[in-house]
Structure 1
Amino acid sequence: MQTIEQMTLKDSMYLGQIPVFIYQIHYPSFVTTCNEAAAQAINEYYAQAAKKAEKHCRTVLYKQAAENAKYIPSNSPPFNSYTFDVTYEITFNTGCLTSLYMDTYLYMGGAHGETTRTSDTWNFNTGMQLRLNDFYPLSFVSLYRLQKNLDNQVEKRLKITPGSYFDDYSSLIQNTFNPNSFYLQPSGLVIYFQQYDIAPYSTGIPEFSVSSGI
């Protein structure tokens, strides 16, 4: 079993008196009763990813924010701070198996920011990541059945909320399907797509529950 502590890297970066860029990076740190060495390796994986993201914030994104802010040195109208936020959600944590997703929200001006999701499922006995194929062997037939399942779920959603998915959602599901875009829940498996893959921004990140009966 795993217990989780939240770790955070954060800062507000200024140009003069203007807070032009704010970042907050949350990531998990695990203690396990399964394999301590595996937990240490997984913790290092997330710590290094957080440090890499922080470096990108400080060396690339801040410069972009400062470049735009310099045109309003008096901060009038007030500069809308650019932001980078990483959050995570533990979706399954039983025995030596833990699954989670991480959402990275980036706002660099404009009407709204964008969120990108990644996910990991870990075996804390081995320290290895598990893939979709470990739960559902992706043969031609099973992949077809899976995508047909997603099509049917979208069709039902459109009856309730017309326009919540693109008209060509069926072909987009096939073209943008990513076998790494999944996470576990106690009730089963969730497949997700990125913003704009199969639906407009207002729909957010489309998620689909998949039962073991596929």
Structure 2
Amino acid sequence: MRQPQDGTEKRNARRECKVRKERAVMNILRTLLLTSLLLAWLSACGGKTEPNRPTTEPLETEPSAAAGQDESKPDEDTEPAVIEGSEIEEETIEIKDSADGQPLLTACVTRPDVTGLVDGAAKRAIDRYYDACYREEKEWWVGGLADFARENKKSAADCGGTFLPFTVMESSEIVYDGSAFLAIRRDVEAYTGGAHGSHMVYCENFRKADGELVTMADVFRTEDYKSVILSQIADRSSQEDTEGEYSGRDFYQNWEEMLDRSFDESSFFIGPEALTIVYQEYDIAPYSAGTQTFLVSYSDISNELSERFLQEIYGGK
């Protein structure tokens, strides 16, 4: 009679482990979703008032490349040229499990340096914008994201698996420095469980005169700028088809439909001759295709651009 009982116990144990694994998967998916939503919100942060100065954490160990991020990805499409310059601040935060001292999460941020590119009130406004963004990000890392890492670590231990510490690596580049505008790109590489990490690109465009964030509504005179942009991308796609700009890209079959559904009006860079429209991983193409960008020339949409933007962009480059 004992043998069947042992078999039943083993089956029950396997079922329990399966349930725990399913819960672990759900935790990972929930983590990815919440992380993406929060970072998307942070990309539009930066209030009008002076925020409290963030508390600086002591520097700890440099994060290593997250294991599991070995899926190869081709070079992404041509991006705006990077303006050479130093970074204003690099900060590393390591959060450890109080139970065993093992790392749960490491986050490393390199902030943009706008010194010498803008001065006075404009520089202070941009600095306040990023002060607020990075303060909120830090609160998320040491709070919600660390809690999810702790849950995943426990789930892995319960099922005899291996926990890989979460990592967040954020870098920044000045991609356009014109007479009127400054465009800054922030890249966030995050590993929060699973087969590979995630990559998000955040876009900020500032007016040099006052340090204000420039929105797509500021660039266009029409409220329906989404239709203008999507029409330009679709027209060039149909004209160039197999030999033009979009040939060789590993898009979804319904990528033009996804252009509309995934359009994010904050994901663009101002450049000297064109806007660069950015689509994130999975928006219109598989993960392996990476971030997708499209150039929309000012000369092709000049009738749709606001008078103020035209005066500023062509007033000097």
TM over 0.5: yes
Hey, what's the Cα distance between the residues in 2 that align with 1:38 and 1:127? 4
Question: Is 142-151 or 165-174 further displaced after alignment?
Answer: 142-151
Question: Is 129-138 or 204-213 further displaced after alignment?
Answer: 129-138
Say whether the 8 Å CA contact 2:125–2:212 is kept in structure 1.
no
1:131 aligned to which of 212, 215, 234: 215
Gaps of 5+ in 2: 1-84, 301-317
Say whether the 8 Å CA contact 2:87–2:110 is kept in structure 1.
no
Hey, what's the Cα distance between the residues in 2 that align with 1:158 and 1:169? 11
Say whether the 8 Å CA contact 1:89–1:100 is kept in structure 2.
yes
Say whether the 8 Å CA contact 1:32–1:39 is kept in structure 2.
no
Is the alpha carbon distance of 1:32 and 1:10 closer, same or farther for their aligned partners in structure 2, counting shifts above 3 Å? Answer: same
Is the alpha carbon distance of 1:97 and 1:144 closer, same or farther for their aligned partners in structure 2, counting shifts above 3 Å? Answer: closer
Hey, what's the Cα distance between the residues in 2 that align with 1:159 and 1:144? 23
Is the alpha carbon distance of 1:159 and 1:42 closer, same or farther for their aligned partners in structure 2, counting shifts above 3 Å? Answer: closer
Gaps of 5+ in 1: none
Is the alpha carbon distance of 1:180 and 1:72 closer, same or farther for their aligned partners in structure 2, counting shifts above 3 Å? Answer: closer
Hey, what's the Cα distance between the residues in 1 that align with 2:117 and 2:205? 17
2:289 pairs with 1:203: yes
Is the alpha carbon distance of 1:22 and 1:144 closer, same or farther for their aligned partners in structure 2, counting shifts above 3 Å? Answer: same
Q: Which residue of 2 aligns with 1:148?
A: 231
1:106 aligned to which of 179, 190, 205: 190
CA RMSD, Structure 1 to Structure 2 (Å): 2.6
- In the TM superposition, structure 1's runs of 4+ consecutive aligned residues that sit over 6 Å from their partners are none
Hey, what's the Cα distance between the residues in 2 that align with 1:139 and 1:105? 33
Residue 68 of structure 1, CA deviation: 2.0
Is the alpha carbon distance of 1:160 and 1:10 closer, same or farther for their aligned partners in structure 2, counting shifts above 3 Å? Answer: same
Say whether the 8 Å CA contact 1:9–1:26 is kept in structure 2.
yes
2:131 pairs with 1:43: no
Say whether the 8 Å CA contact 1:153–1:208 is kept in structure 2.
no
Residue 56 of structure 1, CA deviation: 0.5
Q: Which residue of 1 aligns with 2:275?
A: 189
Q: Which residue of 2 aligns with 1:171?
A: 257
Hey, what's the Cα distance between the residues in 2 that align with 1:71 and 1:20? 13
CA deviation string 1:7-45 (max 9, x = no partner): 222122222242221111222242246540121121011
Residue 147 of structure 1, CA deviation: 1.3
Report the TM-score, using the length of structure 2 for normalisation. 0.58
Say whether the 8 Å CA contact 1:25–1:54 is kept in structure 2.
no
CA deviation string 1:56-86 (max 9, x = no partner): 101111121122223566xx86532211121
DSSP-derived class of the 2:87 partner: strand
**Identical aligned residues as a percent:** 22
1:19 aligned to which of 99, 103, 115: 103
Residue 5 of structure 1, CA deviation: 3.5
Is the alpha carbon distance of 1:42 and 1:4 closer, same or farther for their aligned partners in structure 2, counting shifts above 3 Å? Answer: farther
2:94 pairs with 1:6: no
> How many pairs were matched up?
207
The residue identity in structure 2 corresponding to 1:210 is V
* Larger Rg, first or second structure (1 or 2): 2
Hey, what's the Cα distance between the residues in 2 that align with 1:128 and 1:78? 46
